[in-house]
Amino acid sequence: MGKILVSACLAGVRCKYSGGHNLVPAIAELVRQGRAVPICPESLGGLTFPRPPAEIQGGDGYDVLAGRARVMDKEGRDVTAAFIQGARAALARAREVDPEMVVLKERSPSCGSKLIYDGNFKGATRPGPGVTAALLRENGYKVISEGEFINKPPAGK
């Protein structure tokens, strides 16, 4: 199995907006073994922890990259630039690592692979990728969620 790029929160790094993490023990073990490389696009974009949650309003990650949607935090601040900067930094890291796949945190405005929160801060989701997932896919990387990884880990694991 080649290297995997993973959302750092899935490896137990406390980089979730709330200051917590989303530990998946199997992913943390791959990082420990040197088989996975953790990234946090939001911290790479300069955001701090903890902070108010953010959601994409007006579309999905592809729309944010195209300038048709914005990432707003719950207090009404536009944090789009930080999310785009983080996505670009994650892409640069992916180019260094050349991962077999990228495992990102579902529902995140950065990392959601198939679902993101709907922009209303009420816990509802809608189909679509986050900003980083969209940029990585646009550049040919295979992006999956932690749920897909857990249910069907790559061969050789």
Tokens representing 102?
């990228």
User: Structural domain boundaries of the chain?
Assistant: 4-151
- pTM (two decimals): 0.94
Average pLDDT of span 53-65: 98
pLDDT at 157 over 50: no
Residue 68 contacts by C-beta under 8 Å, 6 or more apart in sequence?
58, 59
Instruction: Report pLDDT digits (tens) over 83-116.
Output: 999 999 999 999 999 999 999 999 999 999 999 9
Tokens representing 83?
């999310």
Tokens representing 142?
């295979």
User: What mean pLDDT value characterizes the chain?
Assistant: 95
pLDDT value, residue 152: 75
What DSSP assignment string belongs to 17-44?
TTS-----HHHHHHHHTTSEEEE-HHHH
Q: Are strands 4-7 and 101-104 parallel, antiparallel or unpaired?
A: parallel
pLDDT value, residue 1: 60
Quick one: pLDDT band at residue 2, thresholds 50, 70, 90?
confident
C-alpha 15, offset from chain centre: 11
Instruction: Report pLDDT digits (tens) over 143-153.
Output: 999 999 998 76
pLDDT value, residue 15: 96
pLDDT at 156 over 60: no
Q: Are strands 36-39 and 4-7 parallel, antiparallel or unpaired?
A: parallel
Instruction: Report pLDDT digits (tens) over 6-26.
Output: 999 999 999 999 999 999 999
- The C-alpha R_g of the chain, in whole angstroms, comes to 14
- The DSSP letter of residue 148 is H
Average pLDDT of span 113-136: 97
